[in-house]
Amino acid sequence: MTDLGGKRAGQAMGLNVFTLFTGRGVGSLVFGEILRLGFGPALTIFGVVQLLAALLAVPLFRPETLSAPKTPLDRGSS
């Protein structure tokens, strides 16, 4: 379940799935077009784009932290 959306979690998940499958379709289309350059150049371009995305993700997601558990964990007390 997601915390995003509150009472409209279904809409939030629908948007999530929509963007997921749209991204997969557009990514396949772009990669297919890049394959016209040849397999080696296409994989090189793909690798460079993935490396740039990973380097960009580090500062963007640095502030993300795990949320505290909703209920306290059992710490061995009776």
Domain-embedded: residue 48: yes
**Which residue type, as a one-letter code, is found at position 60?**
L
* Mean pLDDT, residues 13-42: 94
* Mean pLDDT, residues 10-16: 88
Domain-embedded: residue 37: yes
**Which residue type, as a one-letter code, is found at position 10?**
G
How many domains is the chain partitioned into structurally? 1
pLDDT band at residue 33 using 50, 70 and 90 as cut-offs: very high
Domain-embedded: residue 35: yes
The predicted pLDDT at position 63 comes to 83
For CA atoms 67, 69, 70, 72, give the dihedral sign.
negative
Maximal CA-CA distance, the chain: 67
0.85 cut: is pTM over it? Answer: no
The predicted pLDDT at position 8 comes to 81
Domain-embedded: residue 12: yes
Q: What percent of the chain stands above pLDDT 90?
A: 56
Domain-embedded: residue 49: yes
Structural domain containing residue 27: 8-60
Give backbone dihedrals phi and psi of 67, rounded to 5 degrees, phi first: -80, 155
Rounded CA gap, 12 and 14, in Å? 5
Taking residue 50's Cβ as centre, other Cβ atoms within 10 Å add up to 10
